């Protein structure tokens, strides 16, 4: 490590450890409060689950200290607080799901550490542009393969091989961001050249617009084949934002918005489930429809959040079990009922911190690939959090995506910890090279 890095790294390491300990206290404290509110006593599994979080969080902090000493000290602790709060809510909703989620938390933290250990320099990934892109596309399309793909709740997102079931699109999302960061870094000069356009917006030649149209077509394919409106919006949104960051041209944002509007109109006209989601969005509290399954989900979420008021019923004291899919799609509403508007605002502020720190890492990165990679990963978290929070609060039609680090689900949790590790790596720069002869 250079002498210049020492004074920068040591304060950050101390702050990172302190923040991680605070995140651990909040996570375990929320779990204990949920148990007290639900059952009137400290959960009997406090030692087991508390140990998983303590070993996992402190192990991750030590890994960061050794492999990414200059990383932003708030990145991992912020995600750790979200994970702990999500686990407390899942425990409050179902003890059985909590046991599974605790296992996935351990696996996700192990994946986080492994990513930092194996990816010693984020620029290593830039050498595998098309391999990573191909693997990402394969994972996105894997659920449509006959025999292993599964349709759950109307969306074909799952793959089941023997007893193992997972959502390959979750890790595919991370790979697609890595691919786009590498591809756009190579092609950004061509995409910046403007020879035509409409109105005040200048665009490059038509042949260089093909990536935009291909990404739009791919998002429509996800909507058509997998019937997943949320993933379609997420992938296309990530691509448009990364293209804008790479070129600095607002015309791409305008073109992206127009293409998204056209795709949304086509999806509404072509698919019954999209029409249903829009109808639920507009009429969720219609007395004539509120007891229908599709409408009842969103209606119960609205009632629950309304019951929570400003400060909530308290962890374990509300009735979030009345909300269908409260541990997955509607966990934000469950938080609103038990922690109130202050609790949901706190969760959103944690995402603001996480995304803001990711964008700051992008700005500080000395290479173009690192800037685009960090910006794309931060955008993925921001869009996913916005889509689910906006859907639950009826700001936009509800789509079936998970709340990052909070919702129940192994595939989402593990992939988000891998995403977080890459953000930590970019924010720190290459791992320090230890002098020979030292251990």
pLDDT at 160: 73
pLDDT at 72: 93
Can you tell me the distance from the alpha carbon of 265 to that of 277, in angstroms, rounded to the nearest whole number? 13
Can you tell me the distance from the alpha carbon of 191 to that of 48, in angstroms, rounded to the nearest whole number? 53
Phi first, then psi, for residue 205 (nearest 5°) are -55, 155
pLDDT at 7: 44
Beta strands in 108-153 (DSSP E): 149-152
pLDDT at 429: 83
Residue 17: count other Cβ atoms within 10 Å of its Cβ.
Answer: 17
pTM summary value? 0.89
Q: What tokens appear for 104 in the block?
A: 């996935």
pLDDT at 4: 40
pLDDT tens, per residue, the chain with 439 residues: 333 443 455 666 788 899 999 999 999 999 999 999 888 888 889 999 999 999 999 999 999 999 999 999 999 999 999 999 999 999 998 878 899 999 999 999 999 999 999 999 999 999 888 888 888 888 877 777 777 766 666 566 667 776 677 788 788 889 989 988 998 888 777 777 666 555 565 666 666 666 666 666 666 666 666 666 677 778 888 888 888 888 887 777 887 788 778 877 877 787 777 787 888 888 878 777 666 656 677 888 888 898 888 988 888 888 888 887 888 888 999 999 999 999 999 999 999 999 999 999 999 998 889 999 999 999 999 999 998 999 888 888 877 678 999 999 888 899 999 999 999 999 998 766 655 544 4
277 and 398 in contact (C-beta within 8 Å)? yes
Beta strands in 102-148 (DSSP E): none
288 and 313 in contact (C-beta within 8 Å)? no
pLDDT at 418: 96
Residues in the chain, how many? Answer: 439
């Amino acid at each position: 490590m250079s002498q210049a890095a020492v004074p920068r790294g040591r304060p950050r390491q101390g702050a990172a450890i302190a923040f991680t300990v605070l995140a651990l206290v909040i996570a375990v404290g929320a779990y204990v409060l949920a148990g007290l509110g639900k059952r009137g006593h400290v959960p009997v599994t406090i030692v087991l689950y508390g140990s998983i979080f303590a070993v996992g969080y402190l192990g991750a902090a030590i890994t960061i200290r050794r492999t990414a000493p200059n990383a932003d000290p708030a990145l991992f602790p912020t995600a750790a607080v979200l994970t702990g709060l999500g686990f407390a809510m899942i425990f409050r909703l179902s003890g059985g799901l909590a046991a599974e989620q605790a296992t996935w938390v351990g696996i996700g933290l192990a994946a986080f550490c492994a990513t930092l250990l194996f990816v010693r320099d984020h620029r290593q990934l830039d050498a595998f542009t098309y391999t990573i892109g191909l693997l990402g596309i394969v994972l996105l399309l894997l659920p449509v393969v006959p025999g292993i793909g599964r349709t759950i709740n109307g969306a074909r997102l799952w793959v089941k091989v023997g007893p193992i079931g997972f959502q390959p699109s979750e890790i595919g999302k991370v790979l697609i961001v890595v691919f786009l960061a590498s591809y756009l870094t190579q092609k950004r000069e061509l995409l910046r050249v403007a020879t035509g356009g409409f109105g005040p917006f200048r665009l490059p030649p038509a042949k260089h617009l093909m990536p935009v149209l291909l990404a739009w077509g791919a998002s429509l394919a996800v909507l058509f084949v997998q019937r997943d409106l949320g993933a379609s919006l997420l992938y296309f949104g990530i691509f448009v934002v990364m293209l804008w960051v790479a070129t600095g041209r607002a015309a791409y944002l305008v073109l992206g918005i127009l293409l998204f509007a056209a795709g949304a109109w086509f999806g509404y006209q072509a698919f019954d489930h999209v029409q249903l989601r829009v109808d639920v969005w507009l009429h969720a509290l219609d007395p004539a429809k509120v007891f229908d399954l599709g409408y009842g989900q969103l209606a119960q979420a609205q009632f629950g959040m309304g019951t929570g008021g400003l400060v909530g019923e308290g962890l374990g004291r509300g009735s979030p079990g009345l909300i269908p899919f409260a541990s997955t799609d509607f966990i934000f509403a469950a938080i609103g009922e038990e922690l109130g508007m202050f609790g949901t605002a706190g969760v959103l502020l944690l995402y603001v911190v996480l995304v803001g720190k990711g964008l700051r890492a992008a700005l500080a990165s000395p290479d173009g690939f690192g800037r685009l990679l960090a910006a794309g990963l931060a955008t993925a978290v921001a869009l996913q959090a916005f889509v689910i929070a906006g859907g639950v609060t009826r700001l936009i039609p509800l789509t079936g995506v998970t709340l990052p680090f909070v919702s129940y689900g192994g595939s989402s949790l593990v992939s988000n910890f891998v995403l977080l590790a890459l953000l930590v790596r970019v924010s720190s720069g290459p791992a320090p090279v230890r002098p020979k002869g030292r251990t």
